[in-house]
């Protein structure tokens, strides 16, 4: 994952990396948070496993500081 983020940072115009992680994979979500990703939204009932609704957490990592607001 670190290599993917480092590669994305080398691409012209790429300022952030976005991903979704299932609420059923807290270890993966923890890894993404450790790398600096933050959750910006939750999609309830994003998928169903065995008929049970499962939420997806949308996360983003800004590769560069955001410019100040004018």
Q: Please check whether residue 39 lies inside any domain of the structure.
A: yes
Residue 70 lies in a domain: no
* Residue 32 resides in a domain: yes
Domain housing 10: 2-62
Count of domains in the chain? 1
- pLDDT at site 11: 92
| Residue 53, domain member (yes or no) | yes
Cα atoms in the 13 Å half-sphere on the side-chain side of 61 = 19
Is 10 domain-assigned?
A: yes
Domain containing residue 30: CATH number: 3.40.630.30
Please give the Cα distance from 18 to 62 (Å, whole number). 9
Kindly report the pTM of this predicted structure. Answer: 0.84
The pLDDT tens digits of the residues spanning 7-36 come to 999 999 999 999 999 999 999 999 999 999
């Amino acid at each position: 994952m670190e290599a993917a983020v480092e590669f994305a940072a080398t691409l012209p115009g790429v300022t952030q990396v976005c991903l979704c992680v299932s609420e059923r994979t807290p270890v993966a979500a923890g890894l993404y948070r450790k790398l600096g990703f933050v959750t910006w939204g939750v999609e309830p009932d994003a998928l169903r496993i065995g008929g049970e609704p499962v939420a997806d957490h949308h996360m983003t990592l800004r590769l560069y500081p955001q410019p100040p607001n004018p």
